Structure 1
């Protein structure tokens, strides 16, 4: 008749479970790389992506909270993401061989 399976429940009106698991794994991986960031960069990334039980915030909200301009938040975020990206690829390189790197001197400061 009208039986509802667990799969039906999981697929209905909500985020995809696989996406949630992937997101949780990615956040966990990001935590492993946070040591390459300075304190301000960590703060911006934590607020921006809702880490450490924070709600995700816009660059404008972060700027207001930290007392800096939105454009400065944008530059900090960009620099931090590039550092995280580099660290991720450095780890991947150790596992699977050569990967590209992005020189940090090419980042807007």
Structure 2
């Protein structure tokens, strides 16, 4: 089938692996983070149709300070990083 399609096997494997990793990330965002953390991560990194937002734009939208947005973002990223680290340790 690959010969017919003319697609490199490594490219197909890389694309499948990327899709698996993206699904894992979204699952972890949905299951680990609070609703506020999730909203900030989605807005900050462009995981919404409106694209990415600056901390200042998020702060204005949520009516909180920019520094509070920064703290929530750091906490959420730390949770995600720790979860991925633990997952890799168990493999």
TM-score of the two chains, using structure 1 as the length reference: 0.61
> Higher helix share goes to which structure?
2
For the residues of structure 2 that align with 1:22 and 1:49, how far apart are their CA atoms? 21
- Count of aligned pairs between the two proteins: 76
For the residues of structure 1 that align with 2:90 and 2:77, how far apart are their CA atoms? 20
Structure 1 counterpart of 2:23, from 23, 28, 31: 28
Structure 1 counterpart of 2:61, from 51, 60, 65: 65
Kindly report the root-mean-square deviation, in angstroms, between the aligned alpha carbons of the 2 structures: 2.3
Question: Offset at 1:22?
Answer: 8.6
**Rg larger for:** 1
Q: Deviations over 1:23-53 (max 9, x none)?
A: 8665433202111111110010010011143
Unaligned residue ranges in structure 1 (runs of 5+): 1-20, 96-109
Equivalent in the alignment of 1:38: 34
Equivalent in the alignment of 1:47: 43
TM-score of the two chains, using structure 2 as the length reference: 0.72
Unaligned residue ranges in structure 2 (runs of 5+): 1-15
Indicate whether 1:93 and 2:76 are aligned. Answer: no
Equivalent in the alignment of 2:4: none
60-69 vs 46-55, greater mean Cα deviation: 46-55
For the residues of structure 2 that align with 1:25 and 1:57, how far apart are their CA atoms? 26
SS in 1 for 2:53: coil
Q: Deviations over 1:64-87 (max 9, x none)?
A: 000000000000000000000011
